[in-house]
Amino acid sequence: MPSYLTVQALTQYIKRKFDVDPHLRKVYVQGELSNVKHHPSGHIYFVLKDGKSQISAVMFKKQASQLVFRPESGMKVFICGDVTVYENYGSYQLYANEMLPDGAGALFIAFQQLQQRLQQEGLFNISFKQAIPKYPKAIGVVTAPTGAAVRDICTTLQRRYPQAAVFIYPAVVQGKQAAPNIVEKIKQANDEKRVDVLIVGRGGGSIEDLWAFNEENVARAIFESKIPIISAVGHETDTTIADFVADLRAPTPTAAAELATPDYKDLQAMLRQIEARLSVMMRQRLTEKGRQLQALQQSYILQDFTRVIRPFVERLSYAEQRLPQVMQLTIWQHKQTLQQLLNRLQPYEPRQKLQAEQLHLLRLQERLTRAVDVTLQQAKERLTYNARTLGVLNPLQTIGRGFQLTYKEETPITSVAQLALKDEIRVQFKDGHIKATITEIVRGKDDE
């Protein structure tokens, strides 16, 4: 029986063949990118093809992070990498370690890609450009602390506008550390708030030397700066992303210093012109006012000032004569008005009303006294009448004439029918009472 291999074993055998083949190590391949996918992890998956064949390929994050341009479908490239088998799918693929664009340089492509993307975001929009102050009090310079650029800038600033203070923010302007260092200095200038305008740049060089000013983080730092920025990178023919984002582009560092400041000689000439114009205007104004003064001095009014004030003096004299009469008339009118008000208030004077109320109160008191006396007299008469009536009806008076009252258990006895033998009774006399027991009952004829 033949020995059958598993799929995995066969794939591993083929992979080992690929791995030990020196011709599949560091392979240089030219082709066109297709189906390019930038994974969130940083890996790039794509297909490399020509007119007749294609091969799957991948570039891992470590190698992809070193690219200065962004691979896109349809781009022709040169790739250096290894060919091996991907065991999970049993397919061979190219693992790219390096990638260069075919035709235009990688830096040029990266420049074009970043320029297009930032332009779409609006970072180059003129509406975001800040105005450069005409007369800055302090100027900041972000550049290398040594070299021709900083010397040219400082010399030009001192020559054109020595009134402004100059602050140098020394930065690395070439190499891998250049971009983050430039960003740091721009942020430092914004945090300190010492300068009114900022010059960011360096001297000339190759595209590789100037590449820090094409980095995205530098472009965004310039865009976000609250201080107006003048870019001054390289020579007049050099153009960087920083030039597009900056509030103003200068062709050279020297030109940046000139754009940042006015020429104090021009200012002096302008001030002299203004001074001359003011002097002429003042002389003309003084001459005109002198003519007006002379005309006033020779005028009819000022020749004899008493003529001017005479009508006012006469009016004043007439007013002084009429013043006492007017005062007396006014006082009399006010007195009349006051008397009318007093007459109108007379009925409402509190004293008269109080006297009337007191008189009314006295009358009420008298009526009350008479009513009380009548009431008491009537009460006395009723009391005397009631006393007489009670005296007539008083049983004690009847007892005083020889009659007695008999009670059985405090109940008055009016008939022998109310009594029985051996009943105890109480007989009330005028001066006391006795208790007795019934031993015999004799009824009258009417009772029988």
Write the pLDDT tens digit of every residue in 359-410: 888 899 999 999 988 999 998 989 988 888 887 666 666 666 667 778 888 8
Which tokens hold the place of 396? 């004690």
What is the pTM assigned to this prediction?
A: 0.47
End-to-end CA distance of the chain: 167
Please report, rounded to a whole number, the percentage of residues in the chain having pLDDT higher than 90.
21
Q: Which DSSP category does 200 fall into?
A: E
Q: Report the candidate in 234, 168, 177 with the shortest Cα–Cα distance to residue 202.
A: 234
pLDDT number for residue 223: 92
pLDDT one-digit tens code per residue, 185-212: 999 999 999 999 999 988 877 777 888 8
pLDDT number for residue 347: 72
pLDDT number for residue 312: 76
pLDDT number for residue 410: 81
Q: Is 143 helix (H, G, I), strand (E, B) or coil?
A: strand
Residue range 44-54: mean pLDDT, rounded: 88
265-304 b/e with 16+ CB inside 10 Å = b?
Answer: eeeeeeeeeeeeeeeeeeeeeeeeeeeeeeeeeeeeeeee
pLDDT number for residue 396: 62
Q: Which fold has domain 7-103?
A: OB fold (Dihydrolipoamide Acetyltransferase, E2P) (2.40.50)
pLDDT number for residue 139: 93
Pick the more confident residue, 65 or 296: 65
The mean pLDDT value of the chain amounts to 84
Task: Count CA atoms closer than 13 A to 430's CA, side-chain side.
Answer: 9
pLDDT higher than threshold 90 for residue 6: no
Q: Give the C-alpha separation, 387 to 42, whole Å.
A: 133
Q: Which DSSP category does 147 fall into?
A: S
Residue 167 falls in which region: left (phi positive, over 0), alpha (psi -120 to 50) or beta:
beta
Q: Which CATH superfamily is domain 112-123+136-262 in?
A: Hypothetical protein af1403; domain 2 (3.40.50.10550)
Measure the CA dihedral 388/394/400/405, to 10°: 170
Pick the more confident residue, 303 or 435: 435
pLDDT higher than threshold 60 for residue 446: no
pLDDT one-digit tens code per residue, 119-166: 888 888 988 899 999 889 999 999 998 888 899 999 999 898 888 899
Q: Give the C-alpha separation, 219 to 123, whole Å.
A: 8
Residue range 347-355: mean pLDDT, rounded: 74
DSSP code per residue over 295-308 = HHHTSHHHHSHHHH
Report domain extents, the chain: 7-103, 112-123+136-262, 394-448
pLDDT number for residue 309: 73
Q: Give the C-alpha separation, 62 to 60, whole Å.
A: 6
Pick the more confident residue, 325 or 308: 325
| Res. 425 pLDDT band, cuts 50 70 90 | confident
Residue range 54-74: mean pLDDT, rounded: 86
- Report the Cα 401 to chain-centroid distance in Å: 116
pLDDT higher than threshold 70 for residue 103: no
Taking CA 174 as the corner, what is the angle to CA 169 and CA 177, rounded to the nearest 5 degrees?
Answer: 75
